[in-house]
Structure 1
Amino acid sequence: MLYSLHVKNLALIKEQEIEFSKGLNILTGETGAGKSVIIGSINLALGAKADPSLIRTGEEYALVELVFGLENDYQKNFFKDMEIPVEEDDTVVIQRKIMPGRSVSKVCGENVTSRQLKEISNVLINIHGQNDHQELLQKKKHLEILDDYCAASLSPLFDELSTSYKRLKEIESELSKTNIDEDKRLREQELLEYEINEITEANLVEGEDEKLENSYRRMTNSRKISEALSTVTNMTASCDDNESASDMIGRAARELSSVSGFDEELGSLLDQLTDIDNLLSDFNHSLSGYIKDLEFDDEEFKETEDRLNLVNHLKDKYGATIEAVLKSLEDKEKRFEALSDLDSYKNKLSAEYDKTRKEVLNTCKEISDIRQKEGKVLQEKLKEALVDLNFLDVKFEIAINSDENNLSSRGYDDVEFMISTNPGEALRPLDQIASGGELSRIMLALKSVIADRDDISTLIFDEIDAGISGKTAWKVSQKLGQLANEHQIICITHLPQIAAMADTHFMIEKGVDDGRTVTSIYGLDDDSSIKELSRLLGGEVVTDATITNALEMRKMALESKGA
């Protein structure tokens, strides 16, 4: 559930705090008042592209903050898996600060990437805008909708199919490489033999490049290191020329020892100083050993340099790391072996291809069977929902066509929504039938049916009422009211029929503050809500008649909700 939205310095909004409620939250206002900015700010917080021009003129940044409450185990486990610390009361704070040239997103105080933010938004909220109408006209969207409905059953099968389909494509690629003539095979085999020998003779060891680079760096800087260590030795180790740290600490220990018997606390201090003396002695011993190891001759330097050059040459040629070079060697050896007996290798691949393709087809069949079964259930539910939305004589069908020659990681089905909205008319593809208003209702029907199966508790509708009016608008209003029984709904509308169904009603309006235009939003009480309904019914002039109509409409809405 979305508890609140806080917006600062964004477009025409100076600073606003909106606290949403459960049920149906309705936002109304004049055209151009800034309703789109409210939904736009939520999208921005959830990772939409940020345009610096949205920052309010004269301000250094814009800020959007959302506060969500987690309502089910799926959401809670998701955040636990992402290792994002949620508040003890299961609240999640999403904040985005937009500055010229960059923006910063945080979730519960942790910086997150745009990809993480998208994943998070997908489990918290579902935003339906007017562009989604057009997506319904694309067949690939129909497949996505059906798969979302069947997600619980399909998910493990998709994981299985992804693995086998990937292997199938790899085998296809390998088989294509076997279609070469004899001369080309011999040339490739000869080159592979040279490369295999070049890598093998080097006797590479993982991690040796780092050791070589460290040794080479130490040797080339040996003079500078030696001078620095000589100075350190003079400062810390006992010598005849000057008094060192070791000499001074030793003398200090003797002085402290001479009086330590007078006080137990002095004995403790002496123990600490003795520890320091021992640590310094160990340090000087290690330093002496390092200086001794620093000695090398020209031959050792040349060997190190040559070995490092060889390793870097192989890395430049076969891979960025020794591990990559050794993997390249493994691949080349397999390819060389295959070319040595190409017919046998090709037959082996063909047998594996047939076996893997059979596995892929079997999984695709399982997926298709689930789609066929669940698709019939979904189409009946959608038909019922469409009837509720004033499609009185509607026919709706989810057409699923399978083609074994059209394999992909999602199966081999082609899915298309078919509809007839008039008696006697044949079923035809959605994009050939539906108008803008019909698309709005079909989308609402889809959302209401699928919402029963998902774990997202908050749905936002931006002008779901596009292209509808009258009785149809009332049907849409009732459907939103029903959906709000189980979900939090936030809906922007210009229709009084829908606004009348509000559990919480917000007004968005544009005004002037200190000589500048600002957009503000505030909650309406019952009387103010009736006045706003009257405005939506009759325009700017609110009359007794429009007030009466608004009261009657509100009464009908409450009765339909059982309030």
Structure 2
Amino acid sequence: MLVHLHVKNLALIEDIEVEFGPGLNILTGETGAGKSILLGSMQLILGGRSTRDMIRAGASYALVELLFQVENPRAEEALGELGVELEDGQILLTRKLMDGRSINKINGETCTVSQMKAAASCLLDIHGQHEHQSLLYQDKQLEILDAYGKDEIYPARDKVQEAYRAYRKCMQELKKLDTDEEQRNRERAFLEFEINEIETAQLRPGEDEELETLYRKLNNGKKILETLQSVRDLTGYDSAQGAGDSVGMAVRELTRVTEFDSQLESMSGTLQEVDSLLNDFNRELSSYVEDLNFDDETFFETEKRLDLINNLKAKYGQSIEEIQKYGERQKQKLSDLDRYEELFQEARENLLKSQKKLEEVSYALSEIRQKYSKTLTDKIIEGLKDLNFLDVQFRIDFKRKEEYTAGGFDDIEYEISTNPGESVKPLGRIVSGGELSRIMLAIKAILADRDQIETLIFDEIDTGISGRTAQKVSEKMSVIGRHHQVLCITHLPQIAAMADTHFEIEKHQRGTETITEIHPLEGEDSIQELARLLGGAEITQAVYQNAKEMKELAQVHKNTRLK
């Protein structure tokens, strides 16, 4: 559950810290006090879009921190799959907003916004003021049904997705083969040209590297020859400046005196080795020069062959090996063209097989969905009656889509009747905004028992309701709070009275600045806030007594009916 919230420099919030408790946490306050800002801070952790104007005027950054104590094993497992490890059963999500960018961290380690969103989605679910409108969309209705029966539906849906991918692949293969004879003839001629061009070249692996080495040598032949001649002069025995002649003379001179000092014998030996090496070098150099061949014909043939290979590289690959592999692929394509009728029939049969498989798994998925739709329907009706829909009918209508999809062929629609004698009709044609809000609450309550998410946040779930209905909604919220942590922003005293922990959000003027603060309410303070919600600006004794009685009745309800 969410145990700690820290928000700094976000809009009207300067710096607040809140310790949330288990069960039903209620947040109340005057309109414009900053309740939506508090909710917005949590939505930022869920990957909500950040803008520069969110940062408090005069501040260089804004900060949001949420600390969760994870107690649900399924939530811990889901986080583990994301690579997130808990520290003493806790996880800290931090988002720091600066001008044009944000820094996101999980347990102190930097992460991306998408990683933050994925982790937060395992821990937190926010039902905003307008989310209930999504109930009007059939994709959302199907999503709810799948989530309700996810233990069986999700594996079946995975099989459908796999079969759908295979089906689409077979369709693409058949479409690729579905060409007229003229087009196939053009393709055959093109393939034969490319194959002939590659085979005529008679390429040999490594040939290009050998030719490039030879080309560099031939292209620099004059420079090589001049340089070798200079080196031979400098090291040879044919000129007075040659090193060979000088070393030979030095050997002779040193030999004359070695008989007078035995230590000179090793030096003389070393010098003789130098003379021998230099003599060998000059013989090798002379032989190399004599073998040099820089004729124009060899250079022309080498250059011509290199141009041919480089032209093939530009067309078919960056190396001789790649060119040869390309040629083999083209040969296979040509072979496939020669077997066109056979391959086309094979592709058509594969498509029929994949379609049959897709039909089977889609039908199996639909049966599972229809099974769960019956129990979900019963539970929704039960939940709606708890929310003061006294004579309600509800059903999930199944139709078949014209085309297969990755989610199967089911096209479902929620239908409802809220008045006696009326036939069921699609949600969008019957219910008001307040009724949609209650329907979503009933669904959230049902899904909550099957979900790993521990913390549910409801933003003004009381839209369009009052009186007895508001009381019913408060009781439903309290029921959800038995198994989950619930944070609820509300204006209704009936809901606020059911709080396990009550917070007030206030806006204050401090000099020229406006700041939002939040503090817990207990005992008398909570009753005073309920009285404000009941009576508005003036709180009379009667209003106060009404608020006190409302709080006491809520406590009795929790102590008896909810146990």
Tell me the TM-score normalized by structure 2.
Answer: 0.78
Give, in whole Å, the separation in 2 of the partners of 1:549 and 1:7. 35
1:262 corresponds to: none
- CA distance 1:327–1:485, shift in 2 (3 Å): farther
Aligned to 1:64: 64
Partner letter of residue 108 of structure 2?
G
| Cα deviation 1:114-160 (Å, max 9, x = unaligned) | 22222212211111012212111111111111111111112222222
Residues 172-227 of structure 1, C-alpha deviation per residue, up to 9 Å, x if partnerless? 1221223322111111233344456778989899xx9xx99xx9xxx9xxxxxxxx
- Encode CA deviations 1:377-399: one digit per residue, 9 max, x unaligned: 00000000000000000000011
Counterpart of 1:99 in structure 2: which amino acid?
M
Is the CA contact 2:46–2:121 (under 8 Å) kept in the aligned structure 1? no
Q: Which residue of 2 aligns with 1:176?
A: 175
Q: 1:534 aligns with which of 531, 536, 552?
A: 531
**Partner residue in 2 for 1:457:** 454
8 Å contact kept, 1:8–1:14: yes
Secondary structure of 2:136 counterpart: coil
1:18 aligned onto 2:8: no
Looking at structure 2, the residues matched to 143 and 104 of structure 1 have their Cα atoms a distance apart, in angstroms, of 36
1:79 Cα deviation from its structure 2 partner: 2.6
1:391-540 counterparts in 2 under 5 A? Answer: 391-403=389-401, 405-540=402-537
Query: 1:70, CA displacement in angstroms?
Result: 1.4
1:368 is matched by which residue type in structure 2?
A: S
Alignment of 1:206-221 (within 5 A): none
CA contact (8 A) 1:84 1:110 kept: no
2:553 pairs with 1:556: yes
SS in 2 for 1:136: helix
The alpha-carbon deviation at position 331 of structure 1 amounts to 6.8
Q: Which residue type is aligned with residue 66 of structure 2?
A: L
Q: Which amino acid aligns with 1:474?
A: Q
Q: 1:199 to 1:96 in 2, by over 3 A?
A: farther
2: CA distance, partners of 1:315 / 1:352: 33
Q: 1:183 to 1:485 in 2, by over 3 A?
A: same
1:344 to 337, 342, 364: 342
For structure 1, which runs of at least 5 residues remain unmatched after alignment? 220-297
Tell whether the 8 Å contact from 1:45 to 1:94 is kept in structure 2 after alignment: yes
Supply the AA of the counterpart residue of 2:449.
Answer: D
Q: Any idea what the Cα deviations from partners look like across 1:519-541, whole Å, max 9, x if unmatched?
A: 11111111110000000000122
Match of 1:273 in 2: none
- Residue 392 of structure 2 aligns to which amino acid in structure 1? V
Residue 377 (structure 2) aligned to one of 376, 379, 384: 379
Q: Distance in 2 between matches of 1:396 and 1:461?
A: 24
How many residue pairs match? The answer is 470
Task: Report the CA distance shift for 1:188/1:308 in structure 2 as closer, same or farther (over 3 A).
Answer: closer
Alignment of 1:242-321 (within 5 A): 314=316
Residue 185 of structure 1 corresponds to 184
- The match for 1:362 is 360
Q: 1:122 to 1:328 in 2, by over 3 A?
A: farther
CA distance, structure 2, for counterparts of residue 5 and residue 106 of structure 1: 15
Kept in 2: contact 1:393–1:423 (CA 8 A): yes
- Structure-2 residue corresponding to 1:353: 351
| Change over 3 Å in CA distance of 1:122–1:344 after alignment to 2 | same
Structure possessing the higher radius of gyration over alpha carbons: 2
In structure 2, what residue type is equivalent to 1:456? I
Distance in 1 (CA, whole Å) between partners of 2:95 and 2:202 is: 53
Residue 7 in 1 paired to residue 7 in 2?
A: yes
Q: 1:500 to 1:326 in 2, by over 3 A?
A: farther
Does the 8 Å CA contact 1:508/1:522 hold for their aligned counterparts? yes
In structure 1, what is the Cα distance between the partners aligned to 2:204 and 2:510?
73
Residues of 1 paired with 2:38 and 2:485: CA distance? 17
Taking structure 1 as reference, are residues 314 and 112 closer, same or farther at Cα in structure 2, changes over 3 Å only? farther
Query: Where does residue 141 of structure 1 map in the other structure?
Result: 140
- Corresponding residue SS for 1:425: coil
Q: Measure, in 1, the Cα distance between the counterparts of 2:456 and 2:405.
A: 32
Instruction: Check the 8 A contact 2:198/2:312 in 1, yes or no.
Output: no
Look up the match of 1:81: 81
User: Distance between the aligned counterparts of 2:320 and 2:172, measured in 1?
Assistant: 26
Cα offset, 1:337, TM superposition:
3.4
Deviation digits for residues 65-93 of structure 1 (CA, Å, limit 9, x no counterpart): 11111112222222323223321x11111
- Does 1:127 pair with 2:120? no
AA of the residue aligned to 1:344: E
CA change 1:306–1:341 in 2 (3 A) is closer
Contact kept in structure 2, 1:509 and 1:519, CA below 8 Å: yes
Q: Which residue of structure 1 aligns with residue 221 of structure 2?
A: none
Q: Tell me, yes or no, if the aligned pair for 1:45 and 1:64 is still in contact at 8 Å.
A: yes
CA deviations 1:394-420 (Å, max 9, x no partner) are 0000111234x4211100000100000
Paired residues of 2:69 and 2:90 also in contact (CA < 8 A): yes
Partners in 2 of 1:73 and 1:417 — Cα distance? 33
Contact 1:24 1:502 in 2 (8 A): yes
1: CA distance between counterparts of 2:73 and 2:40?
Answer: 29
CA contact (8 A) 1:199 1:314 kept: no
The answer for the alignment partner of 1:37 in structure 2 is: 37
Name the residue aligned to 1:53: 53
Contact 2:317 2:326 in 1 (8 A): no
Q: Structure 1 residues 334, 305: closer, same or farther in 2, change over 3 A?
A: closer
CA contact (8 A) 2:312 2:323 kept: no
Between the aligned partners of 1:35 and 1:12, the Cα distance in structure 2 is 10
Q: Distance in 1 between matches of 2:86 and 2:146?
A: 30
SS of match in other structure, 1:49: coil
Question: In structure 2, how many angstroms separate the alpha carbons of the residues matched to 1:20 and 1:323?
Answer: 67
Tell me how far apart the structure 2 counterparts of residues 550 and 447 of structure 1 sit (CA, whole Å): 28
Aligned pair in 2 of structure 1 residues 426, 199: CA closer, same or farther (>3 Å)?
farther
Matches of 1:14 and 1:381 in 2, distance apart?
44
- 1:146 and 1:139 mapped to 2: Cα distance? 11
Query: 3-state SS of the aligned residue for 1:370?
Result: helix
Amino acid at match of 2:425: R
Cα distance in structure 2, aligned partners of 1:512 and 1:198 = 84
Which stretch of the first structure deviates more once superposed, 376-385 or 105-114?
Answer: 105-114
For residues 321 and 356 of structure 2, what CA distance do their matches in structure 1 show?
35
Distance, in Å, in 2 between the alignment partners of 1:109 and 1:197 is 63
Q: Is the 8 A contact 1:171 1:353 kept in 2?
A: yes
Corresponding letter in the other structure for 2:55: I
Cα distance in 2, alignment partners of residues 493 and 464 from structure 1 = 7
Q: Which AA in structure 2 matches 1:36?
A: S
* Structure 2 gap ranges (5+): 218-293
Mapping for residues 324-343 of structure 1, pairs under 5 Å: 335-343=333-341
SS of residue paired to 1:117: helix
The answer as to whether partners of 2:82 and 2:119 remain within 8 angstroms in 1 is no
The RMSD of aligned alpha carbons is 3.0
Counting aligned pairs with the same residue, the percent is 45
Shift of 1:325: 9.1
TM-score, normalized by length of structure 1? 0.78
Q: Which sits farther off after the overlay, 389-398 or 165-174?
A: 165-174
Q: How big is the shift at 1:312? A: 6.8
Aligned equivalents of 2:314, 2:19: Cα separation in 1: 61
